[in-house]
Structure 1
Amino acid sequence: MPTAHVLELAVCTVTDKEAALAARRKAIEAVSRYPGFVSWRAATACETADMFADLVEWESLEAAQAASKRVMSDPDFAPYMATIGTVQLMQHFLTEQHK
């Protein structure tokens, strides 16, 4: 039986789209090495050019919470944080398993 993972959904606006795109690529590389990381899907809103959504999958809520603390002091994540103007949503979700 598959284990339920945790999805972390972050929606934010950025102050400089081009800088944010480059910084997000580096942030993804850094976070992909964190314990419990599964995947990261990065999206940019079609109608709102400065709005980003990041859907990060973790093996557990504990791994997601540990990563949330770690990014605050990770120098490879800092440039992405610097481009974020406002956070619209930051939430963790349990995935549902269907047979």
Structure 2
Amino acid sequence: MNIEKSNEIIELVVYTIKPDMNSVYVNTAIEKFRKLVMGFEGFISYEFYQSCRSKNIFMDFVRWESLEFAEEAAKQVKILQKSPEYNEYLDSFASLEIFNHFNQVKAWS
């Protein structure tokens, strides 16, 4: 069945966390960050995934009402995450593989 195209934007972020920071990231740091993101205008949902093959690779799948909301949130996050409150979050990162916004072209179910 063909599904009607949605106007929402998907933000896809794939990254690697330092092995020694994995537990801290999963149990503490991501929760603070998730709460920050959920407070932005245009936020719809946040899904957090871990690789099946590497426990240090993660993916955030965030839905936004529009590209404008997603980009504004990204700008604000860059500013806010510099505060000491998010040191644990930033210190956890080994690398960022993908950070991009996508709009739906087609969907099937």
Instruction: Tell me the TM-score range normalised by the shorter chain.
Output: 0.7 to 0.9
> 1:10: which partner in 2?
13
Q: Of the two, which has the highest radius of gyration?
A: 2
Instruction: Quote the RMSD (CA, aligned, Å).
Output: 2.1
Between the aligned partners of 1:32 and 1:57, the Cα distance in structure 2 is: 10
Give the structure with the higher percent helix: 2
Offset at residue 14 of structure 1 (A):
0.4
Between the aligned partners of 1:32 and 1:92, the Cα distance in structure 2 is: 17
Give the 3 Å change call, closer, same or farther, for CA 14–98 of structure 1 in structure 2: closer
Say whether the 8 Å CA contact 1:71–1:77 is kept in structure 2.
no
Structure 2 gap segments, 5+ residues each: none
One of 44, 47, 50 as aligned partner of 2:53: 47
The TM-score with structure 1 as length reference comes to 0.87
User: Residue 4 of structure 1: SS of its match in structure 2?
Assistant: coil
* Alignment coverage as a number of residue pairs: 99
Offset at residue 2 of structure 1 (A):
7.6
2:71 aligned partner, one-letter code: Q
The TM-score with structure 2 as length reference comes to 0.80
User: Residue 96 of structure 2: SS of its match in structure 1?
Assistant: strand
Paired-residue identity, %: 26
Structure 1 gap segments, 5+ residues each: none
Residues 30-64 of structure 1, C-alpha deviations (whole Å, 9 max, x = no match)? 11010111000000111101001000000000111
One of 9, 24, 42 as aligned partner of 1:19: 24
